[in-house]
Amino acid sequence: MTSKGSRRVVITATGALCPVGNNVELAWKNLLAGNSGGGLISRFDASELPVRIACELKDFEPLDYFSQKEINRYDRLSLYALVAAEQAWQQSGLMDFSLTEPVKAGVIWASGNGGIESIEQAYQQDKEFPGRFSPYLIPRILIDTPSGMICLKYGLKGINYCPVSACASATTAFMDAYNYIKWGKADLMIAGASEAPITRINIGGFGAMKALSRQNDQPATASKPLDSNRNGFVMGEGAGALILEELEHAQNRGAQVLAEIAGAGMSNDAYHATATHPEGEGAVLAMNMALEEAGIRASALNYVNLHATSTPAGDLSELRALASLIPQADRKNVYVSSTKGATGHLLGAAGAIEGIFCVQSILDGIIPATINTENPDEQLPDGFSYVWKNPVRSANITYAMSNNFGFGGHNAVFIIKKYT
Reported as a single tens digit per residue, the pLDDT across 232-286 is: 999 999 999 999 999 999 999 999 999 999 999 999 988 777 677 777 788 999 9
Contact, 242 vs 11, CB < 8 A?
yes
2: in domain: no
3: in domain: no
- From 277, 345, 358, 410, the catalytic residue: 345
Domain closes at, from 206, 221, 252: 252
Residue 80 has phi, psi (to 5 degrees) of -60, -40
pLDDT for the residue 1: 47
Residue 310: CATH number of its domain: 3.40.47.10
- From 162, 307, 358, 410, the catalytic residue: 307
Q: Are residues 203 and 290 in the same domain?
A: no
Domain that includes residue 349, residue range: 263-417
Contact, 310 vs 340, CB < 8 A?
yes
CA 228 to centroid of chain Cα atoms: 25
CA atoms within 13 A on the CB side of 370: 28
CA-CA distance, 236 to 39, in Å (whole number)?
Answer: 10
Q: First and final CA of the chain: distance in angstroms?
A: 18
289: in domain: yes
pLDDT for the residue 127: 84
Q: Is 55 a catalytic residue?
A: no
- From 167, 277, 358, 410, the catalytic residue: 167
Q: Is 249 a catalytic residue?
A: no
Does position 2 have pLDDT exceeding 60, yes or no? Answer: no
Q: Is 345 a catalytic residue?
A: yes
Phi-psi map region of 33: left, alpha, beta (phi>0 left; psi -120 to 50 alpha): alpha
Mean pLDDT (the chain) is 94
**Of 141-150, 152-161, 191-200, 405-414, which gets the smallest average pLDDT?**
405-414
Q: Closest Cα to residue 226, out of 110, 373, 83, 326?
A: 373
Number of domains in the chain: 2
